[in-house]
Amino acid sequence: MQPPLPLAGLSILVVEDDDDSRFYITTVLETDGATVVAVSSAVAALKVLPELQPDVLISDISMPGEDGYSLIRKIRALKPDVGGRVLAIALTAYGDRESCVHALESGFQTHVSKPVDPEELVEIVANLVACCHW
């Protein structure tokens, strides 16, 4: 008998402007049981968030147009019933302490450096959902 998939039943919104990264993250999460909607911009994320109501948001920080910090500030300004309290993970190429602190101060629950190991990403999502229900 197979053990349950660690992300089974979770809805995740991925915001990533790089096509290859977006595909990689989506594939990793879906393989472990999550239902994933992936978009390429903050504008697209804000459009789908209210109707999607994901359990988790994973957002790249460095995106053209509007970055992940601006996105999470706009999301946190929303009412809870339209996604304002979604659990959020910042995904960035910058792994220094300053970037981590900035992500947390902006409204993300955690910060992950790219490239992220598939097992690590799944573990981070599963642990965040297990410990941080708002």
Closest alpha carbon to 126 in 2, 25, 5, 1: 5
Domains and CATH numbers, the chain: 11-131 (3.40.50.2300)
Question: Distance (Å, rounded) from C-alpha 50 to C-alpha 29?
Answer: 21
Higher-confidence position of 61 and 134: 61
Complete DSSP assignment for 85-114: T-EEEEEES--SHHHHHHHHHHT-SEEEES
Residue 133: its pLDDT value, please?
Answer: 58
Beta bridge mates, 39: 15
Q: Does the pLDDT at position 97 exceed 90?
A: no
Please check whether residue 75 is in contact with residue 107, taking contact to mean a CB–CB distance below 8 angstroms.
Answer: yes
pTM of the shown model? 0.94
The one-letter amino acid code at 47 reads: K
Q: Higher-confidence residue: 92 or 27?
A: 27
Amino acid at 101: V
The whole-angstrom separation of Cα 39 and Cα 100 is 23
Q: Please check the confidence at residue 94 and state whether its pLDDT lies above 80.
A: no
**Helix 68-76 crosses helix 97-106 at what angle (to 10 degrees)?**
30
Q: What tens digit of pLDDT does each residue of 47-90 get?
A: 999 999 999 999 999 999 999 999 999 999 999 989 999 999 99
Distance CA 110, CA 100 (A): 8
Structure tokens at 20: 């290859």
pLDDT at 3: 67
